[in-house]
Structure 1
Amino acid sequence: MAVLILPVIGVWFLWKNTAFVRDANRLAALLDAEGGLPVDELERLPSGRVDRDSADAVFARRKAETEDAPDDWRSWFRLAVAYHDARDTPRARKAMQRAITLHRAAR
């Protein structure tokens, strides 16, 4: 039974992740066309990694922006990028999913 179920779970997981990436890329293209993509303003360490204090400062601004406009998919997209820059992947993914959901509802 497991031999039959595991491939189905694997295909489902791959399909969900592919759909997520496709939708996130679509939003990025829309935001780029509007001129609203976040600018990389992060300071970097000599190693090339993002400076944590810089990422925290940008994150605080993005969070405030999202709190001011909680129904705007654009602010959630930028918050997702800020979470990613702060190396918080689970929250980045949740914020991006929220942006995708809000964009779908707005159509």
Structure 2
Amino acid sequence: MIIVMSDEKTDLLACLWDEFSAMRFPAGWYDQEPEGTCLVTLDTVLTGFAANVLDGPALGARHRDHLRRRILLLGQLLPAFAADGYASRYFVALYRMAVLAEEIDGERGDPA
């Protein structure tokens, strides 16, 4: 049953990945650093973790902790995008994808 749930979640993550990949980084946000956070780097890190969950082995504890901290950070930053509809959609999509990737990876457990 867990394997089936994980497969369904992985399929959902793949769909979120496809949707997110079709989006462009929001114009005007490349040089913005809300709360001192480089959004381009945050985007790159979270998409990299999602790609790893789709195609790679389970994350180790250190990487899983890093992913969790980046997700929390993005969650805190989401209100900063409220005035820009596209940026808000983009970063909410990134957040949803990263949260699901973390959930799937957590179900896999630590690598052997």
TM-score by length of 1: 0.34
Structure number with the bigger relative contact order (C-alpha 8 A, sep ≥ 6) is 2
* Bigger Cα Rg: 1
